[in-house]
Structure 1
Amino acid sequence: MFVFVCAGCGARLTVPLSQVALPAHAHQNYGNGVRLPVLMESGTFAVEPEPWGVPWRRWEEIDPDEAAARGIYAPVHALSDGAPGAIVIAPGDARGTVLVPEAGGGYCCGLDWGDGPNMACEECGLPVASRIDDCSLWQAVWFAADAVHRLPVADTDAATLSWTELLEQGQGTPPVEPITRWGSPNALDHWWSWSPQWEAAAGQALAHLLAASDGRPVTVPQGLIADVFQRALDALLPAVRPPRRAALAGPGLPAPDTDVVDIILVPTHPQTGEPWSPDGPDGPDGLDGLDGLDGSAGPGAVARPVPLPFGVWMWMAFPEPDLRLPASGTLPDGVLRDDPSTPSPHRLFQADPGTFQHTLVRLPAVRSPWLREILENLTDHTRAGLF
């Protein structure tokens, strides 16, 4: 575990924290006037490896070779020239900081990235972080990488859980949840919708699925997985060639039939961010040749991996029984409730367009003309309800 201290005076700025993978929805902008919860679980932090935050440069100011050197292979609105390595934590885990409201931006309903850090060290006044709590953004505190130092906490090493241990914990992310408007008294103004985390995860995975398709149709298993992906895949990929078949793979599941499966949907480890591999200690043999997640198959590849956040993958692989609306009070052991089921969303599933674009422009496969065309027509696809 680690604590973060001010780079200027050494004052402690956080509680002890364990590192986890950066969530797929870290930079998601969801809906309009929506109140999103806290991004990070208390006691954890994650690192954004890329530059993020001010100053920004528009795409027209950036040489394509410079962008490619940074792993960006298609046009984006702007790229950050900030320092890489920003650290994100839950707001309640910050210590020894003061808010500087005039330094922040946003103020639609709260604070956003603005023109730079809006939190300062209480001891020396050094700007150290940005408090984010505006509508439609995940609430978080982002420390500037060059404003803090990370110090280990003695005798607090957090062990990396095995895939088997993660399965035993059984922490899946429900696909449907109540969404609340900003300013709603006691969260009473809400509706049941697809989970924003699922929409971000689907945006990320859909980009990888398209890259792995090589322009051929892709079929996914029936049920919830098809609800999430099939409509977009059918609309974005031509149906004139034999399809590729995708299947779930991962810990606790039987190995897919490699004679018919071309793509596997695998979980990423919530602590390390590494994708599950069938050649790992908890994986079966028989899916040799899996390369990275850059959209290209290596020599001898049999199935190409597509990453899913562990909680989303867990629910797809091991769906829980019909959820019930929460109710107060308890009942004796052995007595079953008859609470009503969780309402279904009132619309078809839509992948998050921002996460989709963020992922796709970072895959070398986007240089293909057919995939670049999908990216260039993203606004039209969003209007058509695919995103």
Structure 2
Amino acid sequence: MDVFVCAGCGTELTAPVSRVALPVHTHHGGWEELHPPLMEPATYAVEPRPTGPPWRRWQEAGADAAARQGVFAPVYSVSFGARNRIVIAPGDSRSLTLIPDRCEGYCRGVDGRAGPNLACEGCGHAVATRVDDCGMWQTVWLEPDAVVRRPSGLPAAPLPCWDDLERPEHRVPPVEPDGSWSRRWEAAVGVVLAHLVAVTEDRPVDLPAGPVAEWLGRAVGGCLPPGPGALSVGPAGPGLPPPLPRPDILLVPRHPLTGAPWRPAGDEGAVVPLDSGVWAYLAHPEETSPLPATGVLPEGVLRDDYPLPPRPRALLTPHKEAFDYTLVRLPAILLPRLQRRLDAYGRAVTTA
């Protein structure tokens, strides 16, 4: 396990933490809602893309500069902030104090719009940004040039691996205890749709019967056009037998440590990565109620050991910002078959 210390004075700024993959829902929450911490306790992740201020309007920055920042289609503004910022749960921060004149927010907290708003208690240098406003996951972002990673001296925690995906606790249910859709699922579906659009170049797809079609079918049908010549999609990954014949596109999990998509050995075909917890729920569903094979339960017999799963009143709607955020950062958006989507982003920016 590691700790992050101030690069200026050496003050420890975090509890011991271990690295995991950056969650796919990091930048995508539910508007006007207070969210829990993004990261699990004693973990951290790294965002390789530029994030945070300074921001430049697309028209000002230009397409070439935006592409160097990893944005390939017109957006309202492009981040020219630091790459490789480190995110931790607020509860794992140590020896940090708020900078009062940098605590702007929308209504219920701080959103980091003015840059780092946390200073090292040892030397007073701005080293991190606390974010906890409505619609945002609670986080502390450490600035990569202001901190140094050092061994904590504690035994290393077991590294997340593919085997974790077969454990029941890794599955992320699609519905929250209060009956609402999981915000993580909404974001994950938005992200996977963007990758499907890029891989298929806006062609129709055919989902396999079962959990994938049940949970993702409506979202996919609302995003990709219907028609003949649909590309086949099938789940693949740890604990699943290889699909034969191989579908045109494999729906695979992201590695819980690196975030890299799973691939069969020696396979170079098309894959679409999915949040590992969401994938685990689809690939390794929970046990279902042992209903009689025929007939019904005798009259007057009630069962409470297998309650019906919660079902929200509304249908699952992908997170639109997660879809847009992901698609404009995929170079495939520049392909000729995706010209209509590229044009749509351009029109949205010029009329903003």
Whether these two folds match at TM > 0.5 is yes
Q: Find 1:236's aligned residue among 188, 200, 223.
A: 223
Deviation at 1:165, TM superposition (A): 4.7
Equivalent positions of 1:28-39 (< 5 A) are 28-31=28-31, 33-39=32-38
The equivalent of 2:341 in structure 1 is 374
When the two chains are superposed, the root-mean-square deviation of aligned CA atoms in Å is 2.4
Q: Conserved in 2, the CA contact under 8 Å of 1:120 and 1:129? A: yes
Change in CA separation of 1:99 and 1:265 when aligned onto 2, cut-off 3 Å: same
Q: Which amino acid aligns with 1:48?
A: E
Change in CA separation of 1:96 and 1:204 when aligned onto 2, cut-off 3 Å: same
Q: What stretches of structure 2 of length at least 5 have no aligned partner?
A: 290-302, 348-352
Q: Which amino acid aligns with 1:49?
A: P
Q: Which amino acid aligns with 1:320?
A: E
Query: What secondary structure sits across from 2:59 in the alignment?
Result: helix
CA distance in structure 2 between the partners assigned to 1:162 and 1:82 by the alignment: 31
Q: Conserved in 2, the CA contact under 8 Å of 1:97 and 1:121? A: yes
CA distance in structure 1 between the partners assigned to 2:208 and 2:136 by the alignment: 32
CA distance in structure 2 between the partners assigned to 1:103 and 1:193 by the alignment: 34
Q: Find 1:276's aligned residue among 254, 257, 262.
A: 262
Deviation at 1:322, TM superposition (A): 5.9
Deviation at 1:162, TM superposition (A): 3.8
The equivalent of 1:14 in structure 2 is 14
CA distance in structure 2 between the partners assigned to 1:84 and 1:70 by the alignment: 9
Change in CA separation of 1:71 and 1:114 when aligned onto 2, cut-off 3 Å: closer
The equivalent of 1:147 in structure 2 is 146
Q: Deviations over 1:336-377 (max 9, x none)?
A: 955854431111111111111121112221113442423655
Change in CA separation of 1:225 and 1:339 when aligned onto 2, cut-off 3 Å: closer
CA distance in structure 2 between the partners assigned to 1:343 and 1:244 by the alignment: 32
Q: Which amino acid aligns with 1:358?
A: Y
Query: What secondary structure sits across from 2:197 in the alignment?
Result: helix
CA distance in structure 2 between the partners assigned to 1:170 and 1:278 by the alignment: 24
Query: Given the alignment of the two structures, is residue 319 of structure 1 paired with residue 254 of structure 2, yes or no?
Result: no
Equivalent positions of 1:1-387 (< 5 A) are 1-31=1-31, 33-154=32-153, 156-168=155-167, 170-178=169-177, 191-258=178-245, 261-279=247-265, 288-290=266-268, 301=269, 304-321=270-287, 338=305, 341-374=308-341, 377=344
Query: What secondary structure sits across from 2:67 in the alignment?
Result: helix
TM superposition score normalised by structure 1? 0.80
Between Structure 1 and Structure 2, the one with more strand by share is 1
Q: Which amino acid aligns with 2:45?
A: A
User: Percent of counterpart pairs with the same letter?
Assistant: 48
Q: Conserved in 2, the CA contact under 8 Å of 1:21 and 1:270? A: yes
